[in-house]
Chains A and B, each alone.
Chain A
Amino acid sequence: MALDAKQKAALFAGAGALRLLLFQAFPSLPNRLAGRVELSTPVSSFKRLQEGLYLYTHNVSPYDGGVYHQAPLLLPLLSLLPSASDHPLATNLLFTVVDLLSAHALGQIADTGRAASTRLFTSSRKSIRWSSAAIVAGYLFSPFTLAACMARSTSALTNLCILTAMAKASQGASTTFLLVLSAASYLSMHPLLLFPPLLALLYDARLDRSKSAPSPLTFTVMHTFGLLVACGALLVASALLTGSWDFLEATYGVRLLLPDLTPNVGLWWYFFIEMFDSFRDFFLGVFWLHVASYTPGLTIRLRTQPLFVAATLTGIFAIFTPYPSVADAALYLSLIPLFRHLFPLMRYTFLASASVLYASFLGPAFYHLWVYAGSGNANFFYAITLVWSLGLSIIVGDSLYAALRDELDVERPELRDKEVKRI
């Protein structure tokens, strides 16, 4: 274990150093990346955050405008830092630290080993796993994570909250879990959908720790109440801070109603550019319903492996939310290695990873053709977002299949390594 600790220390040091080195070596790189639509969306762009800060520090309400759509509490916090344009170092440090913390949380999740064995279910392949160091390395050095960190998009903060929430849940620390999850939901709303699976995870963890089982019902009620209180507190604090409730409409309203159609890697923007006005609201409703529908489905079917459900949901978010970015995909892809024991059961790994790779190379090229060279049109980039989403959804579906197959092996060992069919 000592060696592992050393390894980890080295890892974190290396990753931090790498980030700072990149920041210092290419001073223009962060802003260039921050301008990439793949990395920073209207709800997570660092440039918009700076604008919000500027307005906030000059006593103009940032929410009385169409630029800033991020959480109010970020403003006072980040206004403590020196302005990123003059002294970028502070901001760079902040985002580096955020990344490292997320990696730490990821390591904690890996250490608890709840990915392969939970209270109600233990995979027959649990022996097949990667050391948490490897998983952390996978997160810290994945180019997607790096790019997202360099772009300083605030989805890094959301990712941190989500990962910490998972870690705390798998450790059974109720209060911190509630706080962090509410923070995540406060920052970008959709993490709220992670509550049911993570609650289950928390419950399992609690039971493992103390044999005195609280009744599930009271447990749920208590924690739901706790979550509501935490979120409410955050919202009220923001309202007090900004002096009005306008921010609701400017932050969550924007996420819900999609007034800003800036391109991103997701499926919504082009759809709603081309959508007929009369159907816009209807399809907004349908799309959101679609996103929300996964939580109950997965939680019920895979109630024995809540962590897997949570991970899969992050994948769903990376595909089907209105303003997804590469950062979200990075979160999901870095959670996958936790389920190393499922890899042998996955069938389309090569196809999926190849299409994701292709998309991440062709995407920028086609965007350039559309917006700068003018020799291509919007369909080029749109097609690539389709491929990207398809690739990710194949990974999601495939891992889900693997999980179910794995479950089956435990239920009916005689079927192990046999052909199976779905009926």
Chain B
Amino acid sequence: MALLATLLALRKDARILKIPPYLSAFLILVGLGWLLVLPLNEYSRATYVSENALLPGQVHTYFTGSEHNIFRAYRHEVAGLVDMPVQQRTEKLSELFRATNLKVATQKYAYTPSGRNISNENVYAVLQGPRADATEAIVLMASLKTMDDEHNYSGVALVLALARYFKRWSLWSKDIIFLVSGDSTSGPQAWVDAYHDAHDPSKVESLAIKSGALQGAVGVEYPAGPWGHRYDKLHVVYDGTNGQLPNLDLFNTAVNIASGQMGIRCTLQRMWNHRDTYQERLQTMLRGMLSQGLGHATGPHSAFIPYHIDAITLVTVGDGWHDEMGLGRTVESLFRSLNNLLEHLHQSFFFYLLLEAKRFVSIGTYLPSAMLIAANFSITAIALWVQSGRWQEPIPNPAATKPVSKPATSESSIEPKKQAEEPTQQEEPPEQKDTEPPTTLVSNDGATAIIPTAALPISERPLFLPAAFVLTAHLFGLIPLAIFNTLPVEELYPSFLLAANITILLPLGAAFFLSQFNRPTPQETTLIHCFSLLFLGMFLSALATLNFSQSLMVGLLTAPLSFVRRGKGGLGSAAQFALLAAVNPVMVVQAAAYAAKVPMLDVLVKAAEGWEIWGLWTQVVMWLVWWPAWFCGSVVVASGLI
């Protein structure tokens, strides 16, 4: 209270109102600069294993010798499988598992995202820990196709060989589930959904055998043909669906074992040769953020992470001298570590950005950048609120909240922007000083805000239309969301183009439509802008806690919204509108696809697939947060044009 009291005195200081635009700009710049310093040693940390039960690499590994011969045999078997029909393939795999006295079950699944038919069959086997009580389990999986759509011969063979080998050990304190999934993302998704009974029985078959709570999952991708292929590095993939990450301890353990115990170098985010320079660190981080921000599934492990099951995928890359046994021993050692766990992984970080295999940035260090960018919207929103409160012409019926009782459009010549910039120009006689709505500076969620102490009816704000407008805009986003998630493939691209055009024209149309009713008054325009920015800031700060990178990306792409204002028509407004049109969501997506040399159609198809199968939220954010915010902003500008 005392703080507020003293700060109340500031209200006379009209200079305050000049600050917000600069402040926003400043925050955005700082937010960006913040990212750039993260790769420096001062701001990042070397990784370390904090769960002391894991003891990575402390055990001898015995997966060698005759196991190698058997592995080769299995690899031939798998090579024989790939072009069999699904049914036959499943039987053969089950037979291979049964030969090692494991309990085997299969699971069919058939999805139809955007009219395509994704159907296949999973085979999994449960190794019951000799002393275990079926309360915990860990998963070792390989999909028949890798993420790059190659045949995962050696990966599957390795799972079979390890299943046979693990069966001999008596020290397992948890069950081990060996999963051979039909494809790299949908298969594991169907399996883990069914495991938690969160599946749609019409699409996904329920599981016949279950074990206890899953404590961790490791995927193997080793696309080497029946005659084998020696690899150079292990590519550790860790992004989960919707940008959720596995516990850093799991990643560290894998890297620690592979590089420390087996001498296999590890890499991440497709940085094939990482020389640990600043640029490469930055590049790794940005790639990581990009794939996190897109939130798509990056491997068979991705499906597990939303269920709070820490999972990673080990992919072999390059040509080198490491052989399959090395990978096998890595997995063995990793499972011995997981087997030691007394409790679910919880010690280490869940929010992190990796710079290279052994260096990371923790949330405390990087979160501010996203928060700053989210904050800039809140600040602008507050500034706009104040500004709308400073509206000078009296409103006949201040109590009115309904459009019907609204006054005709104000013929005031003072435009909000100018007023915001030079409020000192309006010289008010001292006795009027009190009637001017006092403002007070308060802090809220890290955003410093100037808000009016509404003291007089004259500063009454017509809240109805703006609020209604903004809410409608946000609800309107549902339409494209529904459309793009349901349309069949062939209609996706045309409708996307249609959406692109509509998106450009809609703001003008809306502004024109409103102008027919002499609406919105400049004050309402300001309020529309204010509310939409307020919502945007709110969404982004909430999103930053769930998917940091996504929030940051959307924040940057919507940054212009906090600088555009309703102009008096003419070039200024036109330029603003052009700018906004350039950064409209649809356009940006298209540009990104073009830059990444991915056909737009694939993006749309993947998005629809993600929505139906992985429960992807990216398009929700795009259509219900980004698009409406952009729409409101452009309407504000457009209303100046018309």
Q: Is B449 an interface residue (CB 8 A)?
A: yes
Min CB distance B139 to A, Å, is: 17
For B401, list chain A residues within 8 Å (CB). 130, 134
Query: Which of chain A's residues 343-364 have a Cβ closer than 8 Å to chain B?
Result: 343-351, 354-355, 357-358, 361-362
Asked if residues A417 and B539 are in contact (CB atoms below 8 Å), the reply is no
Asked if residues A365 and B402 are in contact (CB atoms below 8 Å), the reply is no
Quick one: CB contact mask for B457-485 with A, threshold 8 Å, 1 for yes? 10110000000000000000000000000
With A354-B534, A369-B545: A130-B244 Cβ-Cβ less than 8 Å: no
- Which of A345, A351, A357 gathers most chain B CB within 10 Å? A351
For B399, list chain A residues within 8 Å (CB). 127-130, 340
Instruction: Identify B456's interface contact among A340, A344, A361, CB under 8 A.
Output: A344
Min CB distance A416 to B, Å, is: 10
Asked if residues A343 and B454 are in contact (CB atoms below 8 Å), the reply is yes
Q: Is A282 an interface residue (CB 8 A)?
A: no
Q: Is B137 an interface residue (CB 8 A)?
A: no
Q: Is A26 an interface residue (CB 8 A)?
A: no
Asked if residues A350 and B456 are in contact (CB atoms below 8 Å), the reply is no
Min CB distance B265 to A, Å, is: 29
Q: Is B42 an interface residue (CB 8 A)?
A: no
Asked if residues A419 and B451 are in contact (CB atoms below 8 Å), the reply is no
Q: Which stretch from A189-197, A319-327, A370-378 is at the chain B interface? A: A370-378
Q: How far is the CA of A398 from the CA of B453 in the complex (A)?
A: 11
Q: How far is the CA of A368 from the CA of B242 in the complex (A)?
A: 14
Asked if residues B542 and A374 are in contact (CB atoms below 8 Å), the reply is no
Q: How far is the CA of A71 from the CA of B323 in the complex (A)?
A: 70
Interface of A is mostly: helix
Q: How far is the CA of A373 from the CA of B247 in the complex (A)?
A: 11
Min CB distance B349 to A, Å, is: 9
CB closest residue in chain B, given A357: B538
Query: Which of chain A's residues 212-244 have a Cβ closer than 8 Å to chain B?
Result: none
Q: How far is the CA of A376 from the CA of B538 in the complex (A)?
A: 19
For B453, list chain A residues within 8 Å (CB). 347-348
Q: Is A418 an interface residue (CB 8 A)?
A: yes
Asked if residues B539 and A361 are in contact (CB atoms below 8 Å), the reply is yes
Q: Is B496 an interface residue (CB 8 A)?
A: no
For B398, list chain A residues within 8 Å (CB). 128
Q: How far is the CA of A417 from the CA of B459 in the complex (A)?
A: 13
For A380, list chain B residues within 8 Å (CB). 545
For B346, list chain A residues within 8 Å (CB). 374
Q: Is A46 an interface residue (CB 8 A)?
A: no
Asked if residues B440 and A347 are in contact (CB atoms below 8 Å), the reply is yes
Number of interface residues of A (CB under 8 A): 34
Min CB distance A326 to B, Å, is: 17
Asked if residues A362 and B545 are in contact (CB atoms below 8 Å), the reply is yes
Q: Is A247 an interface residue (CB 8 A)?
A: no
Instruction: Identify A358's interface contact among B344, B382, B445, B454, CB under 8 A.
Output: B445
Min CB distance A368 to B, Å, is: 8
Q: Is B385 an interface residue (CB 8 A)?
A: yes
Q: Is A366 an interface residue (CB 8 A)?
A: yes
Min CB distance A371 to B, Å, is: 9
CB closest residue in chain B, given A371: B308
With A344-B455, A347-B454, A348-B442: A417-B435 Cβ-Cβ less than 8 Å: yes
For B539, list chain A residues within 8 Å (CB). 361
- Cβ-Cβ contact count across A and B, 8 Å cutoff: 85
CB closest residue in chain B, given A375: B350
Q: Is B578 an interface residue (CB 8 A)?
A: no
Min CB distance A133 to B, Å, is: 10
Q: Is B293 an interface residue (CB 8 A)?
A: no
Number of interface residues of B (CB under 8 A): 38
Asked if residues A373 and B452 are in contact (CB atoms below 8 Å), the reply is no
With A344-B455, A350-B452: A418-B434 Cβ-Cβ less than 8 Å: yes
Q: How far is the CA of A64 from the CA of B28 in the complex (A)?
A: 59
Min CB distance A167 to B, Å, is: 23
For A344, list chain B residues within 8 Å (CB). 454-457, 459-460
For B378, list chain A residues within 8 Å (CB). 354
Asked if residues B442 and A351 are in contact (CB atoms below 8 Å), the reply is yes
CB closest residue in chain A, given B344: A374
Q: How far is the CA of A374 from the CA of B542 in the complex (A)?
A: 17
Instruction: Identify A369's interface contact among B344, B460, B534, B546, CB under 8 A.
Output: B546
Asked if residues B444 and A365 are in contact (CB atoms below 8 Å), the reply is no
Query: Which of chain B's residues 393-407 have a Cβ closer than 8 Å to chain A?
Result: 398-399, 401-402
For A419, list chain B residues within 8 Å (CB). 434
Quick one: CB contact mask for B231-255 with A, threshold 8 Å, 1 for yes? 0000000000000110000000000
Q: Is B74 an interface residue (CB 8 A)?
A: no
Instruction: Identify B444's interface contact among A130, A347, A351, A372, CB under 8 A.
Output: A351
Asked if residues A374 and B308 are in contact (CB atoms below 8 Å), the reply is yes
For B541, list chain A residues within 8 Å (CB). 358, 362
CB closest residue in chain A, given B351: A375
Query: Which of chain A's residues 105-140 have a Cβ closer than 8 Å to chain B?
Result: 127-130, 134
Min CB distance A387 to B, Å, is: 8
Query: Which of chain B's residues 323-369 have a Cβ closer than 8 Å to chain A?
Result: 344, 346, 350-351
For B435, list chain A residues within 8 Å (CB). 417
CB closest residue in chain B, given A372: B308
CB closest residue in chain B, given A366: B545
- Which of A346, A347, A348, A361 gathers most chain B CB within 10 Å? A347
Q: How far is the CA of A260 from the CA of B456 in the complex (A)?
A: 47
Asked if residues B351 and A361 are in contact (CB atoms below 8 Å), the reply is no
Asked if residues B434 and A350 are in contact (CB atoms below 8 Å), the reply is no
Quick one: CB contact mask for B288-323 with A, threshold 8 Å, 1 for yes? 000000000000000000101000000000000000
Asked if residues B385 and A350 are in contact (CB atoms below 8 Å), the reply is yes
CB closest residue in chain B, given A355: B444
CB closest residue in chain B, given A138: B401
Asked if residues B454 and A346 are in contact (CB atoms below 8 Å), the reply is yes
Quick one: CB contact mask for A376-420 with B, threshold 8 Å, 1 for yes? 100010000000000000000000000000000000000001110
CB closest residue in chain A, given B389: A350
Q: How far is the CA of A406 from the CA of B317 in the complex (A)?
A: 75
Min CB distance B260 to A, Å, is: 27
With A351-B451, A374-B308, A374-B344: A361-B542 Cβ-Cβ less than 8 Å: yes
For A129, list chain B residues within 8 Å (CB). 399
Q: How far is the CA of A380 from the CA of B434 in the complex (A)?
A: 42
Asked if residues A348 and B545 are in contact (CB atoms below 8 Å), the reply is no
CB closest residue in chain B, given A341: B399
Quick one: CB contact mask for B534-576 with A, threshold 8 Å, 1 for yes? 1000110110011000000000000000000000000000000
Q: How far is the CA of A116 from the CA of B631 in the complex (A)?
A: 40
For A372, list chain B residues within 8 Å (CB). 308
Asked if residues B538 and A361 are in contact (CB atoms below 8 Å), the reply is yes
For A374, list chain B residues within 8 Å (CB). 308, 344, 346, 350
Min CB distance A79 to B, Å, is: 30
Min CB distance A197 to B, Å, is: 26
Quick one: CB contact mask for B69-108 with A, threshold 8 Å, 1 for yes? 0000000000000000000000000000000000000000
Asked if residues A351 and B449 are in contact (CB atoms below 8 Å), the reply is yes
Min CB distance A88 to B, Å, is: 21
Q: How far is the CA of A380 from the CA of B442 in the complex (A)?
A: 23
Q: How far is the CA of A373 from the CA of B546 in the complex (A)?
A: 9
Q: How far is the CA of A343 from the CA of B452 in the complex (A)?
A: 12
Asked if residues A417 and B455 are in contact (CB atoms below 8 Å), the reply is yes
Query: Which of chain B's residues 138-154 have a Cβ closer than 8 Å to chain A?
Result: none
For B456, list chain A residues within 8 Å (CB). 344, 417
- Which of A340, A372, A375, A418 gathers most chain B CB within 10 Å? A375
24 contacts between A and B (CB under 8 A): A127-B399, A128-B399, A344-B454, A344-B457, A344-B459, A347-B454, A348-B440, A348-B442, A351-B451, A355-B445, A357-B534, A361-B538, A361-B539, A361-B542, A362-B545, A365-B545, A373-B350, A374-B344, A374-B350, A375-B245, A376-B350, A417-B435, A417-B456, A419-B434
Name the 5 nearest CB pairs between A and B, nearest first.
A375-B350, A374-B308, A347-B453, A350-B451, A361-B542
Q: A346-B454, A358-B538, A361-B542 are in contact. List 7 more A-B contacts (CB 8 A).
A: A127-B399, A134-B401, A351-B444, A373-B350, A374-B350, A375-B244, A375-B245
